[in-house]
Amino acid sequence: METIVFDLNGTLVDSERAHWLAYNDVLQKYSIDFGFAEFSEDWTRRGQGLSFTLSKHGRSDLLPFVDDLKGQKDLIFRSKIAERLSLMPGVAEILPKLILDFVLAVDSTSTKEDITKILDHFELTPYFRIIGASDMPWDSKRYGKNSKSSRLKYIANQLRCDTKQCIMVGDAEKDIIAAKDNNMPVIIIPTETTKDNDLSSADLILSSFIELSCEVVRNVLKRIA
């Protein structure tokens, strides 16, 4: 069956600022000035992470403690889900329609625990057959490094779906890159944060999740078949 793989942060859930705020809460303790514009460029657009940011700010002394810093961030983030996160407009209305015709999956660079807590909070868990996460058990010999690109391949394999019959729905340039690495068509729904990304390689750009439908997805799949 044809599959739609959704990015989580910025696509299903308005959570980018919440992730940044949680990291900022931690990094301020070490006098690291980590602005949202920097987070948007380095993390959301380019797919970088905490180790990159620490090195960029000349704090390589903190690199041995990356896991601990992430742990601190995760605790803050999880405690603020109800306060800082919201569903993107249209998600609650559109997913029940899409699941009638497609297998749905979700992928994120977040941890499995964070993804699960977010999906549970917004009552989205029943819609998704499989979840891709940054800390999931991983066969590196088969898939290489755990990355968005390799997780998309993993999801397709697990669902026994040719990647050309899977479609990625995301919001950022990194989603396009990961999808194209797998010959997977991609629909982009940019946010204020990602609208200036290079989105030119997307198969379709929508202005809102509300515009997504079974017909729209099928038209993209037919066009690239």
**Single-letter amino acid code for the residue at 4:** I
Q: What is the pLDDT of residue 16?
A: 85
Residues 190 and 103 in one domain: yes
Please write the tens of the pLDDT for every residue from 136-180.
Answer: 999 999 999 999 999 999 999 999 999 999 999 999 999 999 999
Tell which of 83, 102, 130 closes a domain.
83
Residues 140 and 215 in one domain: yes
Go through the chain and tell me how many residues it has: 225
Residues 168 and 120 in one domain: yes
pLDDT reading at 225 higher than 80? no
Domain CATH for 114: 3.40.50.1000
Tell which of 83, 98, 120 closes a domain.
83
Residues 149 and 54 in one domain: no
**Could you give the residue ranges of the DSSP H alpha helices within the chain?**
16-27, 36-39, 50-56, 66-79, 81-84, 91-98, 112-121, 140-143, 148-158, 173-181, 214-224
Residues 50 and 62 in one domain: yes
Residues 108 and 153 in one domain: yes
Q: How far apart are CA 119 and CA 127, in angstroms?
A: 9
Give the helix/strand (H/E) hosting 13: strand 13-14
Q: How far apart are CA 12 and CA 14, in angstroms?
A: 7
Give me the DSSP letters along 162-191: -GGGEEEEESSHHHHHHHHHTT--EEE---
Phi, psi (rounded to 5 degrees) for 198: -80, 100
Please write the tens of the pLDDT for every residue from 27-84.
Answer: 999 999 999 999 989 998 888 999 999 999 999 999 999 999 999 999 999 999 999 9
* Structural domain boundaries enclosing 36: 16-83
Domain count for the chain, please give it: 2
Please write the tens of the pLDDT for every residue from 70-111.
Answer: 999 999 999 999 999 999 999 999 999 999 999 999 999 889
Residues 105 and 214 in one domain: yes
Residues 157 and 211 in one domain: yes
Return the SS3 of 144.
coil
Residues 138 and 216 in one domain: yes
Q: Are 13 and 88 in contact (CB under 8 A)?
A: yes
Residues 125 and 218 in one domain: yes
Tell which of 83, 111, 137 closes a domain.
83
In Å, how far from its chain's centre is CA 1? 22
Residues 186 and 77 in one domain: no
Residues 108 and 218 in one domain: yes
Q: What is the pLDDT of residue 125?
A: 97
Give me the DSSP letters along 114-134: HHHHHHHHTT-GGG-SEEE-T
